[in-house]
Amino acid sequence: IDFRKVQFLLSAHAIGQLPAPVYPDIAFAGRSNVGKSSLLNRLVDRSNLVKTSSKPGKTQSLNYFLVEESLYLVDLPGYGYAQVSQQTRQSWQGLITEYVTTRSTLACVVVIIDLRHELKQLDRELVDWLRYLDTPYLPVYTKADKLSRNQQMKNAAALDAGLTLTADDRIIFSSSTGQGLDSLRSRLSGFARS
């Protein structure tokens, strides 16, 4: 699968607007501003296919992209952003919850976590919830370029411990340098429809 053969499909504000479940979905989830949209741009090798922002709360709907005729990539709104109204937060949360629990073709949730910080409770809760639902997930520790190699290893080990993972279960990544891109592509291509 060539992730560069990608096209924008639609932006869904309600579950009823999702495309027919023809291809497997890979969804990208994580805290607001963690770098979900940037990771997607890097994955498909486009600087600006997905809108990014230095301000949290940029992605507000489920944005669908189709890769070749084999895979949907789904950019999700971020969680944990206190600055939007409670009503907005709850409507995004509701949409994500409904999406993850009802989408029959959801193949994998990429859980994106900031490598610079300690594990946040919401990240832990997301992983626990995906385990409970038996939904495949792939943790990606991003913004690695902001740390030395030594600090990357230290912080990754702490996140691994917090999530009860081993190093094989996750990827250290940077949207700026492309670190981890090959591993990410090879892990995700396993979910494509052949």
* Contacts with Mg ion, residue ranges (CB under 5 A): 36-37, 58-59
Nearest to 113 by CA among 82, 73, 158, 68: 158
Helix, strand, coil % over all residues of the chain, rounded to 5: 35, 20, 40
Residue-by-residue DSSP string for 172-183: E--TTT-TTHHH
Are 43 and 175 within 8 A, CB to CB? no
Residue nearest to ligand GTP (CB): 78
Whose tokens are 């409970």? That residue is: 132
* Contacts with ligand GTP, residue ranges (CB under 6 A): 30, 32-38, 52-54, 56-59, 77-78, 142-143, 145-146, 174-176
CB 75 → Mg ion: shortest distance, Å? 6
What tokens were used for 165? Answer: 């993972």
CB 103 → ligand GTP: shortest distance, Å? 19
Out of ligand GTP, Mg ion, none, which partner does residue 175 contact, by CB within 5 to 8 A per kind?
Answer: ligand GTP
Out of Mg ion, ligand GTP, none, which partner does residue 152 contact, by CB within 5 to 8 A per kind?
Answer: none
- Closer Cβ to Mg ion, 37 or 175, answer by number: 37
